[in-house]
Chain A
Amino acid sequence: MIYIEGYSLISSLGESAENSAKATQNSHIEPIILEDGNRFYNIQNRKEGDYYDLIERITKEAIDSANLAPDDLKNIALFLGTCSAKLPLNEAHARINGDALREINISEINSNISQRLGITGFNSVISTACTSSSNALLQAKEMIESGLVEKAIVVGVELYNDVTLKGFESFMLLSKDKMRPFDTNRDGVILGEALSAIVLGKKEGDFEVISGSIKVDTSSITSPTPANLAEVMREAMSKANIDHKEINLIKTHSTSTRQNDDAESKAIHMVFDSIPKITGLKPYMGHTMGACGTTELVLLIESMRQGFIPKTINFSEGDSECNITPIQEDIEAKEGYYLLNYFGFGGNNSSLVLRYKGGV
């Protein structure tokens, strides 16, 4: 059995997991409006050239949260899930003279962080767009279960870059207003930056990562198909040996684009005859792309540790195509099973089942 032994988060909501979770209850940070008119959820107080310092910090904070000793770092795996990878570093060169490909080898991210923190085990960078860090988490889980490593640190990193923003703009996927999951007036994504890290191991705790499923949907490179998303959710629950009726809540991927929310809601209706409670967390801090796997998981479990599950903000009018109403008020965090969905570009989809042993 694999448990979450420690975690950390830096997001637009706050510079720690605790503050980020509290911020969901108090004031909702609005996105900034960039020079080109696009909206973005940024981490505040960033410093020039802080790329590696931020990744080191988030990793160190998770290590400290799990009370790991230096010896624990000898046979620990370091997984990093990222879509932005070294784009922020490359773009710093490009802004000066249009120079491309100054920072290429993405293995160097892990090498750098391993050296800074004295981590000597296996390491891997996984880059599968929106599912990068959720996939990294599930890979880490399987590697611990196989006995190859004792523990793993899974880091999700997504930092501002023009390439992703302009790429999304080219596909006309960006919202001009707010992210509104499953709302009939939803108009797209607002991107965000975040870093998060999770230490996985066998030491029993309140949060158990029970199972997960990663599958590719080759029907369309840009549009998910409900049957494939349903299959991923079903497989995750089947591996957990639980019935869909046992799921307390689904943390949806819900990017607030017409196609994605449409497909995810249809998939949920295919799997669940009675829909569990649903919440989408992206309206709080944007779509943090490669980091959203670990970032939304940390935000959810820290909120649960504080006793609640955050409501979905900005929802006002249901879409008959989706026929899903996410929770409109914070609810009490209950013991039981939670399903988390991460559905990405290129048909790369994953779901994981979390068991919460604390709460009421």
Chain B
Amino acid sequence: MYIYAFSNYTEEVTDKISNKKIHLKKRVNRADNYINLTLLGAEKCLADITIDPDSNLYVASDNGNLNSSVKIFKDIFINRQLPMPFTFLNGVNVSTLFYVAKHFNIKGKTLFVDRFESALPQAFVDVKNGKEVLIGLVDEATEDLDLYRDRFQCQEIEESSRWLLLSPKKENIQAIAKIESISWSEDGYKKSKIEKLFKFLEEGEGVFEFQQNNLSFLVKKYE
């Protein structure tokens, strides 16, 4: 499985979450912060690339769409009213998939999964079956930063939208790196952190050994 493009969009949040919409090449009506963050990272990954419409799409997230969830909970449990229809819709994970697929004219399989370690092996199977796969790892902060600090027990807050374009080997196009030796180990609950993988793709050389939870694989970067 080969990496043909990637993006490593991260943003430190100190005061308030930024307006991502203004940075998008194509804006989407009714999209919330999570969907705009997702699209922003994906646009950076596919900057000069037209993806095959038959490609598959995975969006992985540790926490999903936090802000729409907060709004929906506030409406139902505090204000005792129905959520706004499109706030509810944005909070359903398939909406994010829908907007990314529409943005890049993807017609294949689209799946929202719980984490990177869940998405990558499934993408590996797709690539083995000859498909091109776009994977995003997207996590947002809440508008209420104190709420975020409380729930995640942290002081520093970062939003991230990291993406990989994976594919079988292509003729006449040089891949950035190759992923191989995907395996699971029973005792592999080490953390090598996703950000190190993307840092390696940006600046590293040689081979990077990824191991997170019980998934491990090697990334061999080309000159």
Chain B residue with minimal CB distance to A131?
Answer: B94
Say which size band chain A's interface belongs to: 35 or more
Within 8 A of B (CB), among A78-100: 83, 85, 90-91, 94-95, 98, 100
A169 at the interface (CB under 8 A from B): yes
A113 at the interface (CB under 8 A from B): no
A174 to chain B minimum Cβ distance, whole angstroms, is 11
0/1 interface trace, chain B 83-124, chain A, CB 8 Å (1 if under) = 111001101111101100110011111111111001101101
Within 8 A of B (CB), among A148-171: 148, 162-163, 166-167, 169-171
B70 at the interface (CB under 8 A from A): yes
Contact indicator B94/A345 (Cβ below 8 Å): yes
A215 at the interface (CB under 8 A from B): yes
The answer to whether residues A128 and B110 also contact, given A101-B69, A104-B151, A106-B64 and a CB cut-off of 8 A, is: yes
Per the bound structure, the CA–CA distance linking A214 and B58 in Å amounts to 13
Contact indicator B113/A166 (Cβ below 8 Å): no
B171 to chain A minimum Cβ distance, whole angstroms, is 24
A120 at the interface (CB under 8 A from B): yes
Residues of B within 8 A of A215 (CB): 107-109
Contact indicator B101/A146 (Cβ below 8 Å): no
Contact indicator B63/A105 (Cβ below 8 Å): yes
Contact indicator B114/A110 (Cβ below 8 Å): yes
Contact indicator A167/B128 (Cβ below 8 Å): no
| Residue of B88, B147, B151 contacting most chain A CB atoms (<10 Å) | B88
Residues of B within 8 A of A131 (CB): 94
Per the bound structure, the CA–CA distance linking A121 and B215 in Å amounts to 10
Within 8 A of A (CB), among B65-83: 66, 69-70, 72-78, 82-83
The answer to whether residues A128 and B76 also contact, given A120-B214, A170-B85 and a CB cut-off of 8 A, is: no
27 pairs, A vs B, C-beta closer than 8 Å: A90-B73, A100-B70, A100-B73, A101-B151, A104-B62, A107-B62, A107-B118, A124-B113, A125-B113, A125-B118, A127-B93, A129-B92, A139-B111, A163-B76, A166-B82, A167-B83, A167-B85, A167-B92, A214-B111, A215-B107, A216-B106, A218-B101, A221-B89, A222-B89, A345-B95, A346-B89, A346-B97
